[in-house]
Structure 1
Amino acid sequence: MVTDVEWAAFFPAAVLLAATPGANQLLALRNGLRHGPRAAVGASLGRFAAFALMVAAVAAGLGALLAASEVAFTVVKWSGVAYLAWLGVRTVATAGRPADAQERRKGSGGAAPRGGRPVLPTRRLARQEFVVAAANPKALVLFTVFLPQFLSRDAVHVVLPLCALGAAYIAVEFCCACGYAALGGRLKALGITRRARRRLDAATGVAMLGLAGWLATEER
């Protein structure tokens, strides 16, 4: 299984791909800034659950089916566009608003704060990360195209090597997510001004709107 993968070529490409700012990495940065790195890393597990499902789908051949089906791709694509656009608008609209104030209004899932500290909405943030990752059909197609490039040409059985590549990519993405979360946590610890936080939130929202527009214009 391991010998059927070109690991030396895979890891540099995976690091470059995972480190490139995208919707989920921007969420990790924003969550780290608003809730701290631990909550941001915990929330990112939602993304990796979506990625694990995508890897399983690719190994089962469903990724190629999505790439070949115009109707399936269009349905998933516009679902992703709608969610990213909604999330972008919401992020811009709440830019600069204190996170604890928002969570008190939401009721923090009905739980009361303990010791005067707000309850972190990790489950909601993880669900948000999951939906952002799962609603992007390009991610599944990317796994379909990206992972097989690093299989040895003489590989006969590809399911296990594809799963190994998928697990390795998720590990690389996790390390990058930790970096983005740590950066957000560092900015939080430095006590950046409300104006700077508002600008960062607004930039994140605009970036998500841009990603929604990019996805809307992309073809299979």
Structure 2
Amino acid sequence: MFSTVEWTTFFPAALLVAAAPGANQLLSLRNGLRHGRTPAVSASPGRFTPFALMIIAVAAGLGAVLAASEAAFNIIKWCGVVYLLWLGLRTLVTAFRQRSATGWAAPSSEQRDVGASHQDEARSWRLARQEFLVAVSNPKALILFTVFLPQFLGRDADTMATPLLLLGTAYIAVEFFCACGYAALGSRLRSMGITRRARRILDALTGITILGLAGWLATEQH
């Protein structure tokens, strides 16, 4: 089973693909900068539910069918474009609101304690939901798994389903490793005590990049 997969070539290729600064990785960077490493890392599995479903679909042979459907591709594509536009614009608005803020008062210890657990839980769900929506609304991810994973099956593979599931599981592990790296980078920038102006600039750059990804996705042809 393991011998039917070309692992030595798969892991470097998967690392390059997963480390590319896509929308989900930019979210991990932004969440690490705004909320810290732990919330950002705990939110990143939100993207893996759609990834796992896509991998199962590919292993079952449904991935190629869905990827070949122009109507399904366009529906998912435009849902992704709309959501990325909304997320990018919201990020830019957040950056400009921070710019217009005249002051900020640190909450007291009593204020921090009241409802802190509830707020943390609500924040975790919100961040994980963002990760989920970005991943599920990207049709290129399904095509990536349909085209990318089978390249690393050995010629002696008599069945594709189980090796594809193994490859998909390994890719998710690599993706999680890279997400942790982006979250750690954002958290590191946060711990360095960067100025509010620098945080605004990073938020603005993230928003512009997400808007650029929305434009790229809108121009992609099936």
TM-score if structure 1 supplies the norm length? 0.90
Cα contact 1:96–1:199 (8 A) shared by 2: no
Task: Give the percent of matched residue pairs that are identical in Structure 1 and Structure 2.
Answer: 68
Q: Deviations over 1:7-60 (max 9, x none)?
A: 001000001111110100000000000010000000001011221111111112
Match for 1:137 among 113, 120, 139? Answer: 139
Structure 2 CA distance, aligned partners of 1:116 and 1:78? 38
Q: What's 2:171 paired with? A: 169
* Residues 96/116 of structure 1: CA separation in 2 closer, same or farther (3 Å cut): farther
Q: Which amino acid aligns with 1:155?
A: A
Superposition map of 1:10-159 within 5 A: 10-95=10-95, 114=113, 119-120=119-120, 121-159=123-161
Say if 2:193 is the partner of 1:191.
yes
Gaps of 5+ in 1: 102-111
Structure 1 CA distance, aligned partners of 2:218 and 2:58? 23
Structure 2 CA distance, aligned partners of 1:35 and 1:97? 17
Structure 2 CA distance, aligned partners of 1:141 and 1:157? 20
Q: Which amino acid aligns with 2:158?
A: V
Q: Which amino acid aligns with 1:17?
A: V
Q: Which has the larger radius of gyration?
A: 2
Q: What's 2:212 paired with? A: 210
1:153 is displaced (CA, Å) by 1.3
* Residues 45/113 of structure 1: CA separation in 2 closer, same or farther (3 Å cut): farther
1:113 is displaced (CA, Å) by 5.3
Cα contact 1:96–1:197 (8 A) shared by 2: no
Q: Which amino acid aligns with 1:90?
A: R
Structure 1 residue ranges, 4+ long, deviating more than 3 angstroms after superposition: 115-118
Please give the root-mean-square deviation of Cα atoms over the aligned residues, in Å: 1.7
Structure 2 CA distance, aligned partners of 1:160 and 1:116? 46
1:156 is displaced (CA, Å) by 1.0
Structure 2 CA distance, aligned partners of 1:164 and 1:190? 39
Structure 2 CA distance, aligned partners of 1:198 and 1:173? 27
Q: Which amino acid aligns with 1:138?
A: K
TM-score if structure 2 supplies the norm length? 0.89
Q: Which amino acid aligns with 1:174?
A: F
The alignment partner of 1:95 has SS state of helix
Aligned residues: 208
